[in-house]
Structure 1
Amino acid sequence: MLTKRENLLETIHGGHPDRFVNQFEFLAIIMNDPIRATYKAPKYGELNVTNDWGVTRSWPVGTPGPFPVHDDAHRLLKDITQWRDIVHAPSPKMPEAAWEPAIAAAEAVDRRDRFVANFQAPGLFESLHYFMGMEDTMMNFYEEPEEMHDLIKYLTEWELESARETCDHLHIDAVFHHDDWGSQRSTFMSPAMFEEFFVPAYKEIYGYYRERGVQLIVHHSDSYAATLIPDMIDMGIDIWQGIMTGNDVRKCIDTYGGRISFMGGIDSAAVDHPDWTRQEVADQVRRACTEYGKLYYIPSASQGGPMSTFEGVYQALTEEIDKMSKELF
């Protein structure tokens, strides 16, 4: 029987996996590194928590996750031309003692079985709308492109410094990076605009990780992004995690399998809701596994992590995927 790591590599390289890769089983995501603490996310039910970047977020009861607060009292950046005076990245250089829990977590992982991964969120695009709101972000691509390029460069340099510290301390061999690039129906920008503003930055970031020995780059965007797949390949992404059914997953696999793999194919909204049933989960898993096949595809919900909003859903998905492995392999 292949290890989780071996089975993942067989799947994404078009080899001979002996079962479906089951959601996030192949990643040991280190969540307690000290750089993550600068983002200071609110807990469920907490409101108006401000992190070290100056971004205020809330996680209201009954919602799936935290999101920035952009009323006049809390929006960080109201004029993009003033960003140099307002946006101040926290230093990624932490005291050595602060790294000890994360180092211990990384050292406890059997790297023959799983990849050790850092977690980076928000991504470049998400950081922009965290600072200034979605409407201003989108307008500034048109009205103030030079300022947006400069701000993206500033964020990229911070990510590279953060990556250097993380690689030095944790010796990761995988990256799990979030950045949502669209809604369920469309990308937030055209491929041409995406290529202008974001492809060079991500090529630099992911290229640095490769230089440091990272073998696997997993990028989360639970959205429509099928038109950006050539750019994802150009960036060096190995797995697009979060692919939703509206992307025509089967077509994506047929067109790009072998150059990039796809993780998702089960929309979280279809299974992860207050009245979820085991039968719904089983039906969605069976549909995905039979329709999308054994190679270049990893069945999972579209949510960006080994979790579910409602208790029991993630475990139910895991169990149903195991059943399909026994049936189809």
Structure 2
Amino acid sequence: MLTKKQNLLETIRGGKPDRIVNQFEYVALMFDPCTLEAMGKVQKGGSWLNGWGVRIEFPENVPGMFPDTSPEHVVIKDIVDWKKYVKAPNTKFSDEAWQACLDQVKDVDRNEVFIAPFVAPGIFEKIHYLMGMEEAMINFYEEPEAMHELIEYLTDYELDVAKEICDHLHPDALFHHDDWGSQLSSFLSPAMFEEFIEPAYKKIYGYYKEHGVELIVHHSDSYGENLIPSMIRMGIDIWQGIMSTNNIKAAIENYGGKISFQGGIDNGKVDREDWTKEKVWAEAKNNIDTNYSGHYFIPATVMGEPGSIYPGVYDAVSEYIAKVNAEKYGIKEEVKSANMMTQG
């Protein structure tokens, strides 16, 4: 039987996987000191200032944190004067600060799974965190020069983080967040995305690839099939979070071999207070029957981590995939509860 790591690589390289990749089973996600500094003190059900000075809210029963960009809290008051308002978080930490993360890395069997730092938020998210979504959209059109300057500054910060991560953890994968669309459309047109966002990620993901990272997994739980050519040029290996509002089957047929896809089970459909195992299994079955043909696809929920808002939903999907693997491929594996993310 192939290891989880081997099976993932066979799947995304068009080789001979011996079973369906079961959601996030192929990675051990790690929080590094730089990312923790930037995110700030995460408080479920509370609010705080992150490392960029952005006020963050994290209500109960929502999939993730989001910024409060009301006028009294917005960081960038005027994009033309962004340098006056924006100061990047610290990226230099002592060996002691890295030790907890290093200890977790030591406990992972690198032959079995990838070591993947969890980096969030991404370039586009940083932009609208700092100024608000409406202002960001307007500024792409009205102040492109200032936006290019800001993106270059944010990219340099991410490159500093990448250096620290690679120097300390020597990861073989990266899991990077940046939501690029709603359920129905991308936030930017492909041309504007190519102009503003793609160059930043070519530098960032290029650096990781040049420093030992084999696998780039990018999270964007959204519509985004119109951005796939950019994703490929950026160096993304797996688009994690592809929603059912995309034509997943066509994406696999058109781009398989250049990029792979993870998702298809929209959390909004299954990750609900009234969820049942039968409903979750029905969605998982439909996703596999519709989209899975052996290569370039990992059936999974679209949330940006191995878990769910309502306990048990993610595990139910994993149980169904394990059931298919046992019945169709004759491979039985223990399904562990969703707790793959470790934090330093």
Same fold, judged at TM 0.5 (above)? yes
Distance 1:320 1:155 in 2: 41
- Contact residue 219 and residue 237 of structure 1 kept, 8 A: yes
Distance 1:232 1:65 in 2: 23
Q: Which runs of 5+ in 2 are unaligned?
A: 330-344
Which amino acid in structure 1 is aligned with residue 325 of structure 2?
S
Partner SS for 2:186:
coil
Q: Where does residue 161 of structure 1 map in the other structure?
A: 160
Partner SS for 1:254:
helix
Q: Where does residue 297 of structure 2 map in the other structure?
A: 297
Q: Provide Cα deviations, 1:170-215, integer angstroms capped at 9, x if missing partner.
A: 0000000011111001001110000000111101111110110100
Q: Where does residue 188 of structure 1 map in the other structure?
A: 187
1:202 aligns to 2:198 (yes or no): no
Which amino acid in structure 2 is aligned with residue 189 of structure 1?
L
Distance 2:131 2:268 in 1: 28
Q: Provide Cα deviations, 1:15-34, integer angstroms capped at 9, x if missing partner.
A: 11111100101001112x21
Distance 1:79 1:138 in 2: 14
- Contact residue 49 and residue 55 of structure 2 kept, 8 A: yes
Distance 1:135 1:78 in 2: 13
Distance 2:233 2:62 in 1: 35
Aligned length: 327
Q: Where does residue 274 of structure 1 map in the other structure?
A: 273
Which amino acid in structure 2 is aligned with residue 317 of structure 1?
V
Distance 1:124 1:322 in 2: 36
- Contact residue 220 and residue 242 of structure 2 kept, 8 A: yes
Distance 1:16 1:122 in 2: 35
C-alpha RMSD over aligned residues: 0.9
Which amino acid in structure 2 is aligned with residue 151 of structure 1?
L
| Map 1:1-12 → 2, pairs under 5 A | 1-12=1-12
Alignment TM-score, normalising by the size of structure 1: 0.98
Distance 1:68 1:192 in 2: 27
Q: Where does residue 323 of structure 1 map in the other structure?
A: 323
- Contact residue 257 and residue 296 of structure 2 kept, 8 A: yes
Distance 1:249 1:51 in 2: 35
Q: Where does residue 313 of structure 1 map in the other structure?
A: 313
Q: Where does residue 85 of structure 1 map in the other structure?
A: 84
Partner SS for 2:46:
coil
Q: Provide Cα deviations, 1:97-139, integer angstroms capped at 9, x if missing partner.
A: 1000011111211010000011111000000000010000000
Partner SS for 2:91:
coil
Q: Where does residue 44 of structure 1 map in the other structure?
A: 44
| Map 1:1-329 → 2, pairs under 5 A | 1-31=1-31, 33-38=32-37, 39-47=39-47, 49-293=48-292, 294-329=294-329
- Contact residue 222 and residue 242 of structure 1 kept, 8 A: yes
- Contact residue 42 and residue 58 of structure 1 kept, 8 A: no
Give the CA deviation at 1:308.
Answer: 0.3
Distance 2:111 2:92 in 1: 30
Partner SS for 1:253:
helix
Q: Bigger CA drift: 280-289 or 219-228?
A: 280-289
Partner SS for 2:199:
helix
Distance 1:325 1:37 in 2: 37
Distance 2:263 2:127 in 1: 26
Which amino acid in structure 2 is aligned with residue 324 of structure 1?
V
- Contact residue 271 and residue 313 of structure 1 kept, 8 A: yes
Alignment TM-score, normalising by the size of structure 2: 0.93
Distance 1:230 1:72 in 2: 36
Distance 2:61 2:247 in 1: 30
Q: Provide Cα deviations, 1:298-323, integer angstroms capped at 9, x if missing partner.
A: 01101001010101111111101111
Partner SS for 1:269:
helix
Give the CA deviation at 1:62.
Answer: 3.4
Partner SS for 1:82:
helix
Give the CA deviation at 1:41.
Answer: 4.7
Alignment CA distance shift 1:69-1:295 (3 Å): same
Distance 2:229 2:53 in 1: 34
- Contact residue 61 and residue 309 of structure 2 kept, 8 A: no
- Contact residue 63 and residue 303 of structure 2 kept, 8 A: no
Distance 2:41 2:148 in 1: 27
